[in-house]
Amino acid sequence: MNFPRFTIIRLITVLLLLFLYFVLQSDYWFSQRTYILPKLHEKSSNRSSLPLKSAEWHIFYSQGTSLYVHRAIYDSRKFENWQSPCVTLYVLSNVRRVKSIGSIFCKYGNAKEVEAVVLWTNEAYRYPFTGLQEYVIHCPINVQIVPNRIKIRKEKEVAELTIEKPQPGNEVISVCVPITYGSFDTKQLIEWFEFLRFFGVRTIDITIWRVPDNVLKVFKYYEQQNVVFINKMELPFKVSIDSRQNKLKPSRKPYLIKAFMPMALNECFIMNHLRSKYVLSLDFDEHIIMNSSHFSSFHELIQSYEKPGLVQVELCKLRYDVSCNMKVDDKYFIFQHRYRQNISSASVLDNPKSFITTSNCPYIGNHFCVWYNEKSQKEFPKVKLHLAHIAHYRKWKTCGEELEYFELDDALLPFKSDLTARFDREMRKYQEFYKLN
């Protein structure tokens, strides 16, 4: 049989690419260097400097490898292939394979030392982008009553951590904001919180890295109402925030934030698994926009997709303009910035966000569940864009032809009078609170 020359060339190219892929993934390729030395982080302009000494972090060093341990959390969830109930630690390492981490041991009080189980998933593979890979350490429980402390040993090094326990509750939705940094407008922040509360969110868990006083004041205001739970995370590296000359271009996310963010997010997720039925990862430049003729709350939106085996309800993202002067004359941020890309130009792959079930997903990413090894996981519905979407108030590099595909969104107008009344009322309460305190 004669094949066309072009077909043969394509076949050879595909085979060559496959061969290169498997070579790059092989142990042989990485036999000389399966880790990135800490000093290499400061040699690249995109990377940060050497690890810092910090009481918040427990860093194990061994023959060029590093293991960054942050918190130990009691995990009572029951899954078939997730090693729980156990004590769970989300960690980072500069090695790209589980076997390169070596053996880790756990000890509760006077009980016998037990070997930990180290897990990872391809869906959370980000080593090529950050030089650090996230892993999960499961410490089996070999005691009748879980104590308040646990010892973690790697070779001769030992770290002792407090075992944190998730708080129970009866909420439908909790929002996690992983690793917050930078400045935000006070009024815009209050609108963001009240928007979520209006549509049914009762608890918001925020991990703070570096924020100015005006932002912290807003967080503290909601903390005293038991709406916000604040966790502080000081990164074990010196990290600088990028500042751009061009106001249109968004500042780049600090390099190592991409590595540490999943750790903060999963710590939030597990700490809320008894409190809430669903958890959503959301940033302060994101809102959920729903079609008012179909839903009046986030719970109604989720309920329309609830089935046995539900893992998540995924929302696609649409970009809204905040930098090219495409806005409406209005004093409220979300009603001023209503111009967005049209539905036909959107992509389902453009950084979606999901309401993730705490009972059917043990391990999450910023966009969706990243652990698919349970038989109970069957339903992964995606919400159609005309019903609901994530509004991302994103700066653009230029104000050119791409804005021709933008259109005015009216989905929130039926809620406007109720929302703006709420915004104004809470802003007054916020100002009065700080006059008295």
Give pLDDT tens digits for 159-214. Answer: 999 999 999 999 999 999 999 998 999 999 999 999 999 999 999 999 999 999 99
Q: What pLDDT was estimated at residue 23? A: 46
Q: How many domains does the chain have?
A: 2
Give domain status of residue 5, yes or no: no
Give domain status of residue 232, yes or no: yes
Nearest 5°: phi and psi at 300?
Answer: -60, -40
Distances (CA, A) of 10 to 4, 13, 22, 374: 10, 5, 19, 38
CATH of the domain at 112: 2.60.40
Q: What pLDDT was estimated at residue 47? A: 38
Q: What pLDDT was estimated at residue 435? A: 85
What average pLDDT does the segment 316-334 reach? 92
User: How confident is the model over 4-21, as pLDDT tens digits?
Assistant: 665 667 777 777 777 665
DSSP 405: G
User: In this model, does residue 54 exceed pLDDT 60?
Assistant: no
Nearest Cα neighbor of 66 from 37, 28, 109, 99 is 37
Question: 214 with 314, same domain?
Answer: yes
Q: What pLDDT was estimated at residue 63? A: 81
Question: 111 with 180, same domain?
Answer: no
Q: What pLDDT was estimated at residue 39? A: 39
The two tokens of residue 380 are 């992964």
Question: 145 with 181, same domain?
Answer: no
User: How confident is the model over 174-185, as pLDDT tens digits?
Assistant: 999 999 998 999
DSSP 393: E
Q: Residues with Cβ < 8 Å from 202, sequence gap 6 or more?
A: 171, 172, 173, 174, 227
Give domain status of residue 4, yes or no: no
Question: 246 with 131, same domain?
Answer: no
Question: 238 with 357, same domain?
Answer: yes
Contact 344, 420 (CB under 8 A): no
User: How confident is the model over 291-304, as pLDDT tens digits?
Assistant: 999 999 999 999 99
Read off the pTM. Answer: 0.85
Q: Looking at per-residue confidence, does 257 or 49 come out higher?
A: 257
Length reported for the chain: 437
Per-residue confidence band for 3, with pLDDT thresholds at 50, 70 and 90: low
State how beta strands 157-164 and 171-181 pair: unpaired
Contact 316, 390 (CB under 8 A): yes
Question: 190 with 227, same domain?
Answer: yes
Give domain status of residue 21, yes or no: no
Residue at which a domain ends, from 110, 129, 164: 164
Measured in whole angstroms, the distance separating CA 340 from the mean position of its chain's CA atoms is 24
Question: 353 with 251, same domain?
Answer: yes
Question: 305 with 279, same domain?
Answer: yes
- Domain with 117, as residue range(s), is 39-164
Q: What pLDDT was estimated at residue 6? A: 58
Per-residue confidence band for 28, with pLDDT thresholds at 50, 70 and 90: very low
Cα(52)–Cα(287) distance, integer angstroms: 35
Q: What pLDDT was estimated at residue 346? A: 76
Question: 67 with 189, same domain?
Answer: no
Residue at which a domain ends, from 133, 164, 195: 164
Question: 222 with 337, same domain?
Answer: yes
Per-residue confidence band for 45, with pLDDT thresholds at 50, 70 and 90: very low
Nearest Cα neighbor of 272 from 148, 369, 167, 138 is 167
Q: What pLDDT was estimated at residue 252? A: 61
Q: What pLDDT was estimated at residue 22? A: 54
CATH of the domain at 190: 3.90.550
Per-residue confidence band for 135, with pLDDT thresholds at 50, 70 and 90: very high
Give domain status of residue 403, yes or no: yes
Give domain status of residue 25, yes or no: no
Question: 325 with 203, same domain?
Answer: yes
Quote the percentage of the chain above a pLDDT of 90.
Answer: 64
Question: 233 with 378, same domain?
Answer: yes
Residue at which a domain ends, from 128, 145, 164: 164
| pLDDT, averaged across the chain | 86
Give domain status of residue 10, yes or no: no
Give domain status of residue 12, yes or no: no
Instruction: Look at 60-64, 205-209, 227-231 and tell me which has the smallest mean pLDDT.
Output: 60-64
